[in-house]
């Protein structure tokens, strides 16, 4: 049974279409990066998964309907929908008391251990904390829940670089134990690339690309080509081409590496490169723009 299974998922807000025929299957133990630009539908997709908004089409999370069974689902799913949304009046110790009171899988000691590494004190009120500290508190609460699925929407948005890096290195890595499933939505691909097992690119409400990291590493190559070899390289059917510092950078899918090394320097594309190549080309093509 997949942890998340959607088929023809669609969501509209009035006349604007936020999600269109999203088919997604996330198996247990995967870390999926849902990558898209602002307004591409990431938040809408995640909101549907955790039962915050109604939708059309099929969507099952842990075999439950998120919209009608949110409260039962939340025993096994934890999520952060947005940064800095803990209520201002809440005291840190009250937050711990409350979550411990209502959540059967919350481990208070674990949350306290996470908080002990921060500057947050139990008698602090949320309104006295900085934005970064509020996120730290929220993460400590959420990561102390023994959930089967963790959903994070831009968890590091608006935070400083050192904290962002630290978050993906340490707490999230410790949380993940090969049985938990994590879905992270972000537009900052670089900072989470290393921890992902799968990526899905969302562009204008549609999933334009979905792949495991292993597959990306074995199937995609980026070649830096000098001007004299461009014609030869183009003959090998690149899926994308861009220019940088006087050289062309061509992206190939499923083309033999040996063959490619004849026309230029071959390297593995980063997820960010792939994202840029796969979404911008389609977006511009659909607008009829010149590449």
Partner 1 sequence: MTGFSSAFEAQEVASARLSPVRPLYWSVRRELWENRSLYVAPASAAVVFLLGFLISTIHLPATIRNLPALDPMHQHETIALPYDMAAGLLMLTAMVVGGFYCVDALQAERRDRSILFWKSLPVSDSTTVLAKAFIPLVFLPLLTFAIIFALQVCMLLTSSAVVSASGLNAATLWTQLSFFKMTLLLLYHLLTIHALWQAPVYGWLLLVSAWARRAAFLWAILPPFAIGAIERIVFGTSRFAHLLRLTGGGNEALTAPGTFPMDPVTHVTPGTFLVSPGLWIGLALTAIFLTLAIRLRHDRGPAN
Residues that bind partner 1 (CB under 8 A): 47, 50-54, 70-75, 78-82, 85-91, 94, 97-99, 101-105, 107, 109-110, 113-114, 138, 142, 146, 170, 174
87 vs 262 by CB, closer to partner 1: 87
C-beta of residue 103 within 8 angstroms of C-beta of residue 151:
no
CB of 175 to partner 1, least distance (A): 9
Nearest approach, Cβ of residue 29 and partner 1 (Å): 16
Nearer to partner 1, 137 or 225 (CB): 137
Give 8 or 171: the residue with its C-beta nearer to partner 1. 171
* Environment class of 178 (CB within 10 Å of its CB; exposed 0-12, middle 13-18, buried 19+): exposed
DSSP one-letter string for 70-100: HHHHTTTEEEE-STT-S-TT-BHHHHHHHHH
> CA-to-CA distance for 155 and 157, rounded, in angstroms?
6
Q: How far is the CB of 287 from partner 1 (least distance, A)?
A: 30
User: CA distances (Å), 7 to each of 33, 182, 258, 265, in order?
Assistant: 19, 20, 39, 40
Least distance in angstroms from the C-beta of 281 to partner 1: 34
DSSP conformation class of 30: -
- In the complex, the smallest distance separating the C-beta of residue 9 from partner 1, rounded to whole angstroms, is 18
Helices (H) and strands (E) in the chain, counts: 12, 13
CA proximity to 48, closest of 38, 32, 60, 36: 60
Q: Min. distance of Cβ 109 from partner 1 in angstroms?
A: 5
Q: Which is nearer to partner 1, 102 or 119 (CB)?
A: 102
Pairing of strands 149-153, 181-186: parallel
Looking at the Cβ atoms of 170 and 261, the one nearer to partner 1 is 170
Whether the Cβ atoms of residue 9 and residue 158 lie closer than 8 Å to each other: no
Q: Which is nearer to partner 1, 170 or 286 (CB)?
A: 170
CB of 164 closer than 8 Å to CB of 136: no
């Amino acid at each position: 049974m997949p942890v998340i299974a959607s088929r023809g998922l669609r969501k509209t807000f009035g006349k604007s279409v936020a999600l269109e025929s999203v088919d997604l299957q996330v198996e247990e133990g995967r870390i999926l990066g849902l990558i898209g630009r602002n307004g591409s539908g990431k938040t809408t997709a995640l909101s549907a998964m955790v039962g915050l908004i109604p939708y059309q089409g099929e969507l099952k999370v842990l075999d439950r309907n998120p919209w009608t069974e949110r409260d039962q689902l939340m025993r096994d799913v934890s999520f952060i929908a947005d940064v800095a949304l803990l209520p201002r009046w809440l005291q840190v110790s009250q937050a711990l008391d409350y979550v411990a009171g209502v959540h059967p899988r919350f481990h208070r000691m674990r949350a306290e251990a996470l908080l002990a590494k921060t500057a947050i004190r139990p008698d602090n009120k949320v309104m006295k904390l900085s934005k970064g500290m509020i996120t730290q508190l929220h993460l400590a609460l959420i990561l102390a829940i023994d959930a089967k699925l963790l959903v994070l929407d831009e968890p590091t948005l608006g935070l400083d670089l050192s904290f962002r890096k630290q978050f993906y290195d340490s707490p999230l890595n410790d949380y993940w134990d090969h049985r938990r499933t994590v879905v992270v939505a972000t537009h900052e691909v670089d900072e989470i690339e290393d921890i992902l097992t799968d990526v899905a690119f969302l562009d204008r409400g549609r999933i334009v690309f979905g792949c495991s990291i292993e597959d990306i590493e074995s199937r995609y190559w980026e070649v830096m080509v000098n001007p004299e070899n461009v014609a030869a390289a183009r003959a090998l059917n690149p899926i994308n081409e861009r220019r940088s510092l006087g050289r062309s950078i061509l992206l190939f899918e499923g083309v033999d590496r040996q063959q490619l090394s004849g026309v230029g320097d071959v390297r593995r594309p980063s997820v960010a490169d792939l994202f840029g190549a796969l979404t911008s080309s389609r977006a511009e093509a659909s607008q009829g723009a010149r590449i």
